[in-house]
Chains A and B, each alone.
Chain A
């Protein structure tokens, strides 16, 4: 079974440019997440969905970041405009809830460099 797929794997843009990341969760999982990971730190949740509804986006900088759940499967994360401080790895995860617990599976991430 394929894991979480993310693209692109790397993106280099100039500041003030827009950028978009795409995520395809594991088939059958209904809860995609977007995390941000700065160098030397653990992932931090940006937004998570349950089906098509965003249920926790408290850490998402809504003035420049937006996320979408596409047709109940794929998800995109967009930054417009990008700032220098947005350089980081953006991780997508999807989850399967079983036995009363929630196990999250992570994709490889997109490394964003803003120049």
Chain B
């Protein structure tokens, strides 16, 4: 099956800093999503981005499908950005496979 690897596993930053999270995957996919899991366990869909670039406020994501990676950018971090960020991929009707997550901590 498809393997998903996220880096870094942990990231600690000061408020206002920028960050880049990476997701590598082992096979071609046509579904890639980035999720943010908040401290209450809720999984929030950030981007559905099997290819290309998208932006939503301070967050943006880029997927280079031919090179099998995706990047999530967070600019001007806020404490509410803290939590675990998951990348998940799938192909066709196959099930979504999750990476192990990046735990982001934003200190005030």
| A in complex with B | no
A residues near B (Cβ < 8 Å) are none
